[in-house]
Chain A
Amino acid sequence: MAIGWLAVAVLSATPAAADTPTTWPEPDPMSTLHALLLFVGVPAGLFVVIALLVMAPSVVKGPRYRPGLSWWAKPEWFGGPAEVDGAHRLVLEAGHGSDDAPVSTHVERTGGGASARW
């Protein structure tokens, strides 16, 4: 039964009715400028758009810390002596140095702590 239907379907197929066109449609000749725009301008535009999309988040976020690269930011002291109620933060000048903390006052201390490097 199934083979009979298959045979009917195969045998009843006729060649396609469309003839091959005798002439191809002749498009208007494309100017060099137009061709350049289409084949160079569009890919270049896509390239720029994708590059911007990739770079945008890091441009918005600004520089990020990476170990081994230079550090760019000003010193910052969270909970430092000048802080009032956690609202203001002392941002020290870049030249914070030993002037206000003379070495001679550095007596032995009973505190502890830990050190690490990375």
Chain B
Amino acid sequence: MPAGEAFTPDQRRGIDKAIRVAQKSTGYAFSVYVGAAEDDSRRFAEDLHDQLAEPAYSVLVMVDPAARALEIVTGSHVRRDLGDAEAALAALSMQAAFAAGDLSGGIISGVYQLGEHARRPTSLHTDQHP
């Protein structure tokens, strides 16, 4: 197939909005990479994660539609709020949407879910931000 756009403008807006909402509610940076990964998709995703501005405070979702691989990489600080089990839960729901062919829907709901899980309980008496 010829090279083209992966998403319609509506889907793009949806993904952007999900990322914005997740960032706003958690304070962590979320990013979504959709494209071909190398053979070792986990390492590729971790390399992408390293290229982000603040890897420790970032969540990277890597989707390789060709290889049907999904990787969620959380930074060391994010991991305190977003455990591996919670990431796996989000991965599971994304996986189900992808298997049904709904690429953008899976990404959007996955990012929302990650943001939901990564949200720290608001503390009313401390204003120290980690």
Contact = CB atoms under 8 A, between A and B. Distances in A.
Interface residues of B, number: 66
Interface residues of A, number: 43
Interface string A25-64: 0000000000000000000000000000000000001111
Contact of B68 (A72, A96, A117): A117
A31 B49 CA distance: 75
B79 interface: yes
Given A75-B33, A106-B43, A111 B56 contact: yes
B29 A75 contact: no
A79 B94 CA distance: 18
B86 to A, nearest CB: 9
B84 A116 contact: no
A73 interface: yes
Contacts of B36: 71, 75
B75 interface: yes
A111 B51 contact: no
Contacts of B43: 103, 106
A21 interface: no
B70 A106 contact: no
B79 A112 contact: yes
Contact of A115 (B35, B52, B78, B91): B91
Interface of A: 61-81, 83, 86, 92, 94, 96-98, 100-101, 103, 105-106, 109-118
